[in-house]
Amino acid sequence: MSIRTAVIGVGSLGQHHARILGQHRNSNLEFVVDVDAKRAEKIAKANKTNYLTDFNELIGRVDAVVISVPTPYHYQVARPLLQSGIHCLVEKPFTLNVTEAESLIEIAKSKNLVLQVGHVERFNPAIIAAAPFVNIPKFIEVNRLGHYDPRTNHIGVVLDLMIHDLDILFYLVKDKVVSLEAHGAKILSDTEDIAKVRLRYANGCVADVSASRVSLEKYRKIRIFQSDSYVSIDYAGKSLKVYTKKEGKDKITSLLDIYVKKPKLPSKEPLFYELDNFLSNVSEGKKPTVSGQQGRDAVELALSILKNMQF
């Protein structure tokens, strides 16, 4: 089944959505949309498709869209499209507040539409491979560092970068946060550019989460400590290592008593898997891997962190 698709907002990320949808066997990329006509025309030409500057012109002409505009516009773009019967994948963060998120969820439900949120790390091969090894995590340490991008200075590092990890933690811990402590600093913008958060979950798990956009290099890792194993994930390198005691070893007397498993991971980019999942959900009527509700929960936690942040 070929689905008529469009990408709204073809900036640094949206252009890659357009590239993949333009090549995917189940997608017929009908339009790219951007308020910058020259940018829209350039990306349309690169993907051999048409361009528009007004997303409202998509109504009645496509089946599914990816919304990759700046976060403050997510709600006002997604709402009329959902109301017109178009399936939507909305980039992260889902919305600026919980009220907007719940409104979009309700519209999608009433129209029986797919509403997916672009938490692309869920489709990182390292995360997918690690999930079966995570059972009862006791302590989790997450570090996500990157360089400053003026294009995202309308939101701070919590909604820009850390929200990826908040979603991943919900996925791995599978419980609610009962308390948190948050610290941040404004370095390059009027919002927090560095954030350090400690989360405590109902099941007793504790997670220390750090995010910074004041770094010259990208560093994205998560370490999971359990009573019987240690799981190390490199988001950027798409690698996974699982450390466990060798069979029959009750106590560790040397490194020789530790078995290290390094699963071989598929090489395709996470964004391909995300869009492939979206297209499958649309054609088969399946529930998204990252639903609107999950996007809403990540936003709610992020906003709670910001509310409690000490500077």
CATH number assigned to the domain comprising residue 23? 3.40.50.720
Return the SS3 of 250.
coil
Domain check: are 109 and 149 in the same one? no
Q: What pLDDT, on a 0 to 100 scale, did the predictor assign at position 267?
A: 82
Query: For the chain, how many structural domains are there in total?
Result: 2
CATH number assigned to the domain comprising residue 251? 3.30.360.10
Domain check: are 39 and 179 in the same one? no
Return the SS3 of 247.
coil
Q: What pLDDT, on a 0 to 100 scale, did the predictor assign at position 108?
A: 98
Q: What pLDDT, on a 0 to 100 scale, did the predictor assign at position 85?
A: 98
Q: What pLDDT, on a 0 to 100 scale, did the predictor assign at position 304?
A: 98
Residue 154 in domain = yes
Domain check: are 114 and 126 in the same one? no
Residue 283 in domain = yes
Residue 293 in domain = no
Domain check: are 256 and 130 in the same one? yes
H or E element, residue 23: helix 14-23
- In tens digits, the chain (311 residues) has pLDDT values of 699 999 999 999 999 999 999 999 999 999 999 999 999 999 999 999 999 999 999 999 999 999 999 999 999 999 999 999 999 999 999 999 999 999 999 999 999 999 999 999 999 999 999 999 999 999 999 999 988 888 787 899 999 999 999 999 999 999 999 999 999 999 999 999 999 999 999 999 999 999 999 988 889 999 999 998 999 999 888 899 999 887 766 666 666 678 899 988 988 899 999 999 999 999 999 999 999 999 999 999 999 999 999 99
Domain check: are 176 and 305 in the same one? yes
Q: 246-264, pLDDT tens digit by residue?
A: 776 666 666 667 889 998 8
DSSP string, 209-222: EEEES--SS-EEEE
Domain check: are 141 and 274 in the same one? no
Q: What are phi and psi of 203, to 5 degrees?
A: -85, 5
Domain check: are 211 and 275 in the same one? no
Residue 194 in domain = yes
Return the SS3 of 128.
helix
Domain check: are 113 and 63 in the same one? yes
Residue 276 in domain = yes
Residue 294 in domain = no
Domain check: are 278 and 229 in the same one? no
Residue 22: give the domain boundaries: 3-119+270-287
Domain check: are 51 and 172 in the same one? no
Cis (ω within 30 of 0) for the bond into 93? Answer: yes
Q: What pLDDT, on a 0 to 100 scale, did the predictor assign at position 248?
A: 62
Q: 200-213, pLDDT tens digit by residue?
A: 999 999 999 999 99
Beta strands in 34-76 (DSSP E): 50-52, 64-67
Q: What pLDDT, on a 0 to 100 scale, did the predictor assign at position 249?
A: 63
Domain check: are 133 and 67 in the same one? no
CA distance 70 to 72: 6
- Residue 274, C-beta contacts closer than 8 angstroms, at least 6 positions apart: 89, 118, 120, 122, 123
Residue 295 in domain = no
- Residue 221, C-beta contacts closer than 8 angstroms, at least 6 positions apart: 142, 143, 232, 233, 234, 235, 236
Q: Cα dist. 303→88, 135, 184, 190 in Å?
A: 23, 28, 13, 16
Residue 296 in domain = no
Domain check: are 50 and 163 in the same one? no
